[in-house]
């Protein structure tokens, strides 16, 4: 009888240990602890960057639906849509019965996240990176949460290695060229603000975000032509969704009234970059940094 009790106690202990091993508790970028008792099988991604991240670490098969803007990798296009990430269709989300929702946002407050959790009845992991290094950290934490930590750790290490390589290539630079990255064209000209992961990416690429001189409060401040003329950046880059030829970008900017006076236009240093590479805080951010470095410094 005593042996039976010992075996029962041992079995209970083994089940407890196994349950603890399966359970994952991870802190998101809002400081909230996300707890899962098992690896999620039905994930909804509400932002393009987290969709890319999940597929990059091998968790794509568990993704059952995505937001309207997710378009990479190509296989994502076959997945059901649940609306824009800031205002998803609650009924559509609930219909897919998710056991985890992930999204990236630098503006979504905790109150709205918690309200959304209450409506969809599923935990939400939020990425809200301020620097590029925060993105690599989120890759690892999401990987741990979805049972793909080894793959996520490997991806994060490759990203860090690429950043180190790009920084090492700048050791002999005498100065960082000033750059203005256009988010939207005139008449409501907007650029990349400061103290965010895109501003950090500019620095990692060996550039100086010219809007630092204005110290804007907004992530993407509106800039007047007069202010732009005063700043007069060395390099002017158009960030557009998809591919835009730099020759066409130069022609477009040069043709704007008053822009021909800019140093970047006069010296022919107007370029284009795929906005998805630098505006999405996901695994392709290192490709964006490498492309920025190429545009700022040639093939050095």
pLDDT tens digits, one per residue of 45-78:
999 999 999 999 999 999 999 999 999 999 999 9
- The DSSP annotation for 116-153 comes to HHHHHTS-EEEE--SSHHHHHHHHHHHHHHTT-HHHHH
Supply the pLDDT for residue 22. 60
d(CA 69, CA 241): 11
Contacts of residue 227, defined as CB under 8 A and 6 or more positions apart, other chains included, come to 214
Helix, strand, or coil (residue 268): coil
Number of neighbours of residue 77 by Cβ within 10 angstroms: 11
Supply the pLDDT for residue 299. 54
- Provide the residue ranges of all domains of the chain, joining segments of one domain with +: 22-163, 178-297
d(CA 202, CA 39): 36
- Measured on CA atoms in the order 155, 158, 159, 160, is the torsion positive or negative? positive
Supply the pLDDT for residue 3. 63
CATH class of 178-297: alpha beta
Low-confidence ranges of the chain (pLDDT < 50): 4, 6-7, 9-21, 300
Supply the pLDDT for residue 141. 98
Supply the pLDDT for residue 15. 43
* Within this chain, domains 22-163 and 178-297 share the same CATH topology: yes
Supply the pLDDT for residue 11. 47
Query: What CATH architecture is 22-163?
Result: 3-Layer(aba) Sandwich (3.40)
């Amino acid at each position: 009888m005593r042996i039976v009790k010992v075996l029962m106690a041992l079995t209970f202990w083994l089940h407890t240990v196994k349950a603890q091993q399966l359970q994952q508790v991870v802190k998101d970028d809002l400081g909230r602890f996300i707890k899962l008792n098992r690896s999620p099988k039905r994930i909804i991604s509400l932002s393009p960057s987290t969709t890319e991240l999940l597929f990059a670490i091998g968790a794509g098969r568990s993704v059952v639906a995505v937001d309207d803007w997710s378009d990479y990798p190509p296989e994502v296009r076959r997945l059901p849509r649940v609306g824009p990430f800031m205002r998803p269709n609650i009924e559509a989300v609930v219909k897919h019965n998710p056991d985890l929702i992930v999204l990236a946002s630098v503006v979504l407050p905790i109150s709205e996240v918690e309200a959304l959790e209450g409506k969809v009845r599923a935990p939400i992991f939020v990425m809200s990176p301020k620097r590029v290094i925060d993105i690599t950290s989120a890759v690892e934490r999401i990987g741990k949460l979805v049972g793909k930590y080894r793959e996520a750790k490997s991806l994060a290490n490759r990203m860090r290695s690429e950043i180190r390589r790009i920084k090492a290539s700048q050791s002999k630079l005498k100065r960082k060229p000033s750059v203005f990255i256009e988010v939207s064209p005139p008449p409501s000209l907007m650029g990349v603000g400061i103290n965010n992961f895109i501003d950090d990416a500019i620095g990692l690429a060996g550039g100086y975000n010219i809007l630092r001189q204005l110290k804007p409060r907004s992530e993407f401040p509106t800039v007047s032509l007069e202010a732009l003329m005063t700043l007069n950046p060395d390099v002017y880059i158009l960030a557009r969704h998809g591919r835009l030829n730099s020759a066409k970008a130069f022609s477009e900017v040069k043709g704007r009234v008053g822009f021909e006076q800019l140093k970047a236009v006069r010296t022919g240093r107007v370029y284009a970059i795929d906005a998805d590479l630098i505006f999405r805080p996901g695994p392709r951010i290192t490709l964006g940094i490498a492309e920025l470095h190429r545009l700022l410094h040639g093939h050095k």
